Structure 1
Amino acid sequence: MSSPSPSAAALATRGAGTAPTLIWTALIVVYLLWGSTYLGIRIAVETLPPLTSAALRFAVAGAVLAAVLRLRRGPGALRVERRQLGSAALVGVLLLAGGNGLVVLAESGPPGVAVPSGIAALLVATVPLLVVLLRSATGDRPPVWTFAGVTLGFVGLVLLVLPAGSADAVPLVGALTVVAAATSWSVGSFLSGRIRMPADPFVATVYEMVAGALVLAVVAAGRGELRDFHPAEVSTRSWLALGYLMVAGSLVAFTAYVWLLHNAPISLVSTYAYVNPAVAVALGALLVAEPITPQVLLGGAVIVAGVALVVSTERPRRPSAGSRSGTARERDRR
C-alpha cells in the first residue's frame, strides 16, 4: 500500500526549517545552470548518439557523487531501505530517462525536425502548470494565486512560442516529444514528495542517476546507438559539452534540485521552468546570434510576472507550533 500523501499544510510548510538563503542559493543555481544545459545538449548531440550521451552523463555523475559520499561518510553512506531504493529508482526513471531523455531526442534530429534549444526550454516551462494540476487531482488545494501565477506564466510561454511566420513554425513531433518529457518530469517531481524516498537527498540523487542511466542505456542499445557509437568520431566540442552537462547540469544543478524538492514547496521549486527559457534565449543570442524580438521581450516579461506571483504565494513561511506538529505527524506517516 502506498504511503499517504502530505496534506496541503505539510506542503506549505516544507522548507520552513531551512534558511531562506540556502533555498534561494539552490534556486539560483538551478535557474542559471539548467538554463544553459539546453544549449549544452544541442552541442553534445552534434556528434554523440543522443540517448548514449544522456546515459554517460548520468552514469558518470552518479558514480562521482557516490564515491564522494562514501569517502566522506564511510561504507554505509549509501545504505537505504528497499522501499526507498525502489522509490528513488522510479523518480530517477521519470526525471532522467523520461524527462531528460526525451528532450535529448527532440534536440537531436536533423534541421527542420529537431527542436531548437531555446524552444525546448520554453516548452518545458509547462512543468509548473502540470504540477499544480497533479496537486489538484490528488485532493490538494493550491492557493488561487498559485493557479493565477502558473496560468500567467503559461500565457507568456504561448507568446514566446507562437511563430511569427510559417518559417518559424516549431516542428510538431519534436514539440510533442518535449511536452511528453515535461509531463514525465512533472510526475517524477510530484511523486518525490508523496512516496518514501531516502532521507538524504544526495543519496537519493545517486540512485536516481543510476536508475535513469540504466534505462537510457537499455533504450539506446535497443535503438542501435551503442553498436554505431565510435568515440574517435566524436568532436572535441561535443565531448566538452558532455563534460559540462555532467558537472554543471548533473552534479551541481540536479543535486540542488533534489535538495530543493526535500526543502521547499514544489510550486516554488518548479518556477525554474520559467527562468530557464530566459537563460536559454540569452545564451542563444550571445553564442549563436539568435535574435531577441519584441515578441520574446513581451513573453519574457509575462513569464517573469508569473514567477513573481508564484514565488510570493509559495515562498517558505515560518509555521506556528501547531503547524509544525501537524507536519511532523504527516512525515511520521510517510
Structure 2
Amino acid sequence: MRGSRQQVAAGNGARAIPKNGAPVFEVTPVRETAPVRTAGGALPLLVMGLVVVSWGLGPPISKLLTAPAMVSAFIRFGMSTPFLLVVLALRGRWLSRRVFAQTALPGVSFGINMVFVFAAVQEVTISVMSVMMALQPAMLLALVGPIFGDRVSVRQIVFTLIGVGGAVGVIMGAGGEFRASGFGLFLTAMSVLTFTVYFVLTRMARASTDVDPIEWMAGINFWSFVAAVPPTLLLVTPSQFFEFGGLDWLWIVIVAFVTGVFGHVLMTWCHGHIEVARSSLYVLAMHIVAVGTAWLIHGEPVTPMQFLGGAVVLFSVAMVIRTPAGSRAIPEPAKQATELDPPVAARSQN
C-alpha cells in the first residue's frame, strides 16, 4: 500500500520525502493563472505602438473642436456606438448579456472621462493635461500586485519612475505655455481618475475571461453614450448643437474612430498580451506624440528640455521591454511536511 500512496500523491504533484523510514509528502499547490498569454514578442509591441500614436493624437485633435464639450462627447459616442455594433453584426456576433453587464461600470467611467477630456482641453494646455496623465503608470504600479497578481521587478519599478520623470520633463518643458485654471486642473484630475477606473476594469476583465476586443468596446461605447445622455439633456441647449459644424465633423471623426475605436480596440487586445505594469509605462510615449502634434497644429513650442525628457521616456520603455516577463503562475510556499493517511479502503484491508 505504501507504493499506492506514493502514486496517488505523485498524481497530485507531490514528492516523497523520507522521514524516519516512512514516506512523507510535501505538496506545492500552484495558483491558477490568468489568460495573459505573453508580455513580449514583436506583435504585441507593434500593436502597442499603434495605440501610443492613436492615443497621442487625441488631446491635440480634441482641442480643435469649437463646439461645447458635452455636445462633442455626445456626438462622438453617437457615432462610434452604432459603428461597432454594425461591425459585430457583420462578423456574425452580437453583444452578449455577459459582456453587456461587464462593460456597464467601465463604460460609464469612460463616457464621463471623455466629457472631462473635452472640457479640460478648453481650459488647460495639452502640456498640463499630459503632466497629470503621466502620473497614471505610477498609480497603476501600486495596484498590479493586489488586483492583477502581476509580478513587478525592481527593474520595472525603477524604470517606470524614471519614465514618469521623463514624461513630466517632456510636458514641463513647454515653459511659458504651461497654462491652466483651477477649474481646468479639476477637470483634468477627474479625467485621469475616470480613465484609470476604465483602464483597471478593462484589464481585470481581460485577465479573467477571453473577451473579444470589438465586442468589449461595443459595450463600452454603448454605456459611454448612455452616460453622456443625462448631462447633455440637463446642460446643453438646442442652440448649442448648431455650434457643431464645419471642420468639427472632421475632428470628431478622427477622435471617434482613430483615437476611439481603433486605439481602444487595440488596447483591449493588448490587455490580454502585455502585463499592465508594462503597458501603462509604454503608454507614456503617447505624451511625446501629443506634445509633437500640439507643436505642429497649435504652435505650442518644443524645447530642448522636452527633447531630453522624450529621450528618457524612450530609454525607460526600452529597458522595461528588455526585462523578462513576470510569471503569473506563482507557486505558493510549501506546506509543512506531514504524513498522509492511507485511503479508507486501504485502512480497512489492513
TM-score under structure 2 length normalisation: 0.75
Number of the residue aligned with 2:48: 27
CA distance in 1, matches of 2:283, 2:103: 22
Counterpart position of 1:119: 128
Secondary structure at the counterpart of residue 234 of structure 1: coil
Query: Which whole-Å CA distance do the structure 2 matches of 1:8 and 1:179 have between them?
Result: 37
Counterpart mapping for 1:1-334 below 5 A: 10=33, 14-16=36-38, 20-44=41-65, 46=66, 48-73=67-92, 77-82=93-98, 84-94=99-109, 96-108=110-122, 114-138=123-147, 140=149, 141-162=151-172, 168-195=178-205, 199-222=211-234, 224-231=235-242, 233-313=243-323, 323=329
| Deviation of 1:139 (Å) | 8.0
Following TM superposition, the consecutive aligned residue runs of length 4 or more in structure 1 with deviations greater than 6 angstroms are 163-167
Contact 2:62–2:121, Cα closer than 8 Å, also in 1: yes
After superposition, the Cα gap between the structure-2 partners of 1:171 and 1:23, relative to the gap in structure 1 and judged at 3 Å, is: same
Cα deviation digits, residues 116-136 of structure 1 (max 9, x gap): 224323421222112112224
Q: Distance in 2 between matches of 1:170 and 1:185?
A: 20
TM-score (norm 1): 0.78
SS of 1:313's equivalent in the other structure is: coil
Q: Which amino acid aligns with 1:296?
A: Q
Matching residue's letter, 1:92: G
CA 1:23–1:324 in 2, change beyond 3 Å: closer, same or farther?
farther
Larger Rg: 2
- Quote the residue 1:3 is aligned against: none
> Percent sequence identity over matched residues?
20
Computed over aligned residues only, the root mean square deviation of the Cα atoms, in angstroms, reads: 3.1
DSSP 3-state at the match of 2:64: helix
Which residue number in structure 2 is paired with residue 4 of structure 1? none
- Provide the C-alpha distance between the structure 2 equivalents of 1:295 and 1:308, rounded to a whole number of angstroms: 20
- Paired residues, number: 300
Instruction: Show CA shifts across 1:132-177 (max 9, x none).
Output: 1222454845222222122112222333444776774443432342
Counterparts of 1:314 and 1:43, CA distance in 2: 41
Q: Which amino acid aligns with 1:127?
A: Q
Moved more, 138-147 or 235-244: 138-147
**2:6 paired residue number:** none
Shift of 1:198: 6.8
Shift of 1:32: 0.8
**Counterpart amino acid of residue 116 in structure 1:** T
Inter-partner Cα distance in structure 2 for 1:14 and 1:324: 14
